[in-house]
Amino acid sequence: MNENNAEQLRSRLDIPRLRNEFEGAHYLLTTSDGITLFIQEWKSKKPSDVAILIFHGITAYSGPYGQIIGKELTEAGMNILGMNLRGHGLSDGVRGDYPSRKRVIKDICEAIEFAKTKYAKIIVLGHSLGAVAVGLATNHCLDKIDGIILVGAGRTIRPGVYKKPTASQKCKILATALFSPGKRIIKYYRDGMMGLDDPLFNFAYSPRFMMALSVKSITFPSEIPCPVLMAIGENDEIFSQESARALLDEMPAKDKTIIVIPGAKHAAYPPGSWTKLIEWYNARYAR
């Protein structure tokens, strides 16, 4: 499928039908406001009462994480869950929009609470924008979290990664934010990004989505009692190792670790990338 065909399919996605046709293991979570969220599952053949709940990056959804990280981790004995944010993947909701930051928080915490009904311990993993979701979780449902993993995240983005909007574009975005905050006016693009030929990826976002899940808004509570792991690709195009360390330094946890993944980019990880993550997990959660 080429990019143009994918864009045409995005405009007429029938999410309920696609959910019904999905043959892989998954759960459907009905949120407190009646929306269906899709949670994919990759179950290990080894018995375990621990699962890693993945919060995906911007534009993405759970599906690609099966190959990016799920295969290696399930073979190592880990259970993996992947939540599709509202308006992403096979979850309901307007594509690329979120009603409010409050609703983001509720969706995230309700997903974690749901995961806890399936597994005794839940480790939350945020990749890229998913780190914002994890940050929100630490402030609003930390008591349900047994571990934290951040992948491809940092406090500040490398200069020049994204083109700065022109003055007229800034005015248009500001006007939209004031009068039509749910309109998907912000086009998300950077060189080398994946998913252009996948109709379940999003590349247009509303101002209120970007405000609700702003990287700059990541904060943490005064204490994080569970283990924390930061993983950053050696060649990550968006966040530097220094930026990743700066974010980790802000997290008030006694048990925190950073690993640099050789040869990895922001969303491209060579085979064997997760060896140190597996070692970290085995030292703290494996029986």
Q: How many C-beta neighbours within 10 Å does residue 223 have?
A: 10
Mean of all residue pLDDT scores within the chain:
93
Query: Which ranges in the chain belong to alpha helices (H)?
Result: 3-10, 15-21, 65, 71-75, 101-116, 130-140, 167-179, 207-212, 241-250, 275-284
Q: State the Cα–Cα distance between residues 266 and 19, nearest whole angstrom.
A: 28
Q: pLDDT category, 215, cuts 50, 70, 90?
A: confident
Give the residue-averaged pLDDT of 4-10: 63
> Radius of gyration (Cα) for the chain, nearest Å?
18
The residue ranges of every structural domain in the chain are 3-284
Q: How many C-beta neighbours within 10 Å does residue 31 have?
A: 18
Answer for the pair 33, 104: CB distance below 8 angstroms, yes or no. no
Q: Encode pLDDT of 187-196 as tens digits.
A: 887 777 777 8
What pLDDT, on a 0 to 100 scale, did the predictor assign at position 28? 98
Sign of CA dihedral 126, 130, 131, 135: negative
pTM for the whole thing?
0.95
- For 261, how many CA atoms within 13 A lie in the half-sphere containing its CB? 28
Answer for the pair 139, 108: CB distance below 8 angstroms, yes or no. no
- Which of 52-56, 81-85, 139-143, 190-194 shows the lowest mean pLDDT across its residues? 190-194
Q: How many C-beta neighbours within 10 Å does residue 221 have?
A: 13
Q: Token pair of 168, please?
A: 């007229």
Q: pLDDT category, 135, cuts 50, 70, 90?
A: very high
Q: Which CATH architecture has domain 3-284?
A: 3-Layer(aba) Sandwich (3.40)
> Residue 286: exposed, middle, or buried by beta-carbon count in 10 A (0-12, 13-18, 19+)?
middle
Q: Encode pLDDT of 19-58 as tens digits.
A: 999 999 999 999 999 999 999 999 999 989 999 999 999 9
